[in-house]
Structure 1
């Protein structure tokens, strides 16, 4: 297969080659060391850990320190930071450099969760252009001596009347970011509706010296290649599309290499992947906590398969790997992957008004650090 996408230069983020040009989006409660290891087994790319708050890292919150674990062979080690204060962000990146905690830092300016935007953080923050620039500048300044690239992820804007992505892209480029990524929805959309890929194309035209990555509504390998064709972006960021489908990275690697996409797995193969996920989580969290954490993945893995209500309910209540193994043995291993399992998965919700601090939209040049926006724990 020969396509326009395959003729693009290889994606580089600072010193790191990313081939295929695929990035696993950081997802709270999902992209821990276990899930990243599972996905990495299916193909190369860049795999980002869960969101880490700069304040929690600097204060050495025990839960945060546990979350920043990486496999010995995981390179580059990619960490996403959330922060609203340039000083704290600078200290966090300096800590990463001094203690060799990561090889790549991504910055989160895309979170639409009300408890974050209500304090002026996440997707609300790029509206404050000077503050946004200061935070990016602080991270790049501290990362530069170690050659650690800093990338920036953001949304189209707060809502349709307050778009910020073009300014955010240009500012990040000017302040030395190694790449930018756009989730092609506004904060008001959250995860509802359809991502507007034309915004990614606009950003690609506005940001000319560093890579532009696209994010939003990539649920298959074909979606990824179509995004590259339609927008000209340099790579893709995959989030909800891989929930319960870590083999999507195998499909993406094949598609970008011009090879046929492998056939979708039958239920027996999915069961094996699910068990492997459980074992990796147990290594990371301990068996009891791992089984509780895995429950939310069950509907994603089993979506569309003929499982039966009682058995499906039992999967959502597992308490041990032995119990999981028994339940998996009751599945019809020969059941083909269902066609209706394709498409959107994970949280979608509905659009709504974005919660913002009082007077937040009055002055885009105000660089006052939002009061109370620093989060003292990680993971969203």
Structure 2
């Protein structure tokens, strides 16, 4: 969710429903060395009373120091370690979804993070995938190591790294992990509607869910999730937003982006969200293209005024994938990475720049 879950979008989602909203993935080395790009991403909204940071790292020393800085200097209340990212720039360094293959290294990083955060009473969780590919599964070992290290919970995306976002998520693996560990397991993958989340919890025994692509252009999904887990969905179906209501949400999103980033950059950041918000609506191509080139809030207002506020939500878009999908691909790994699963990794410099 790099480039998406910034302070503006987290606030928008928080306005819709209860939950924990994690920032974009940030590198531990970037925090320790005060990298300008990294520090610019470590921004929170004034109403963000529970600050949650997703940390990426391959060196226990950097991860420990970064965790300490986050707790002591930034008032962070939750740290989530990302061991699930499939992006080549991350896996080629042995990070993200590649790292759990090195069980000793995983344990060292988790021990370091939990130990650094413990004096501040800050819980550490981790997110991972099933494994690198079908022949190199890691999730059961990762769950055991997370529990032994004192992690508060583990989230499992039911895909392997080589699947990226293709195919269907394997929820049965989530159920296996639930049975394998004594800490809460959060399920992730293919939660497009609130009903998917309820079904995942029912089928797997997961303690909760983690949502990624499902909320793209749909921040109200968290309203629906809160209602569903409160049992309200079964009593009265939630009303789907009209195009007018979606338009109001788009305007609010743009406003928050501009407030945090300035109007020029905020409008540029808003552009990527246009197609997600309008997915399935009968909005002409020219209007979509113009919205994706906006440079000012006044321009956004003018264009949004051209939408039909009474157009109903496109029910055919319900339950369909959003964001990246793609095809399975070869995982880029450091030389010799798969030779030894018990080792502590190869000699690979940790990334400095954040961004996923």
Instruction: Quickly name the TM-score band, shorter chain normalised.
Output: over 0.9
**Out of 149, 153, 158, which is 1:179 matched to?**
153
**Out of 236, 257, 267, which is 2:209 matched to?**
236
Map residues 188-337 of structure 1 onto 2, 5 A cutoff. 188-208=162-182, 210-260=183-233, 261-337=237-313
1:53 and 1:128 map into 2 onto residues whose CA distance is 19
1:375 and 1:306 map into 2 onto residues whose CA distance is 43
**Out of 47, 63, 70, which is 2:44 matched to?**
70
2:190 and 2:17 map into 1 onto residues whose CA distance is 20
1:327 and 1:197 map into 2 onto residues whose CA distance is 41
Structure 1 position 364, deviation (Å):
0.8
TM-score (norm 2): 0.97
1:120 and 1:190 map into 2 onto residues whose CA distance is 16
Counterpart contact for 2:337–2:346, Cα < 8 Å: no
**Out of 73, 76, 79, which is 2:53 matched to?**
79
Match for residue 367 of structure 1?
344
1:379 alignment partner, SS class: coil
Deviations 1:91-117 (A, max 9, x none): 111112221430110000000011111
Counterpart contact for 1:120–1:370, Cα < 8 Å: no
1:46 alignment partner, SS class: coil
2:275 and 2:100 map into 1 onto residues whose CA distance is 35
2:345 and 2:224 map into 1 onto residues whose CA distance is 45
1:86 and 1:251 map into 2 onto residues whose CA distance is 38
TM-score (norm 1): 0.91
- The answer for unaligned runs of 5 or more in structure 1 is 1-26
Match for residue 376 of structure 1?
352
2:161 alignment partner, SS class: coil
2:105 and 2:347 map into 1 onto residues whose CA distance is 10
Deviations 1:136-180 (A, max 9, x none): 000001101111000010000000000000000000100110100
Which runs of structure 1 show a deviation greater than 3 angstroms over 4 or more consecutive aligned residues?
none
Match for residue 103 of structure 2?
129
2:93 and 2:36 map into 1 onto residues whose CA distance is 24
1:290 and 1:238 map into 2 onto residues whose CA distance is 24
1:185 and 1:88 map into 2 onto residues whose CA distance is 28
Counterpart contact for 2:97–2:131, Cα < 8 Å: yes
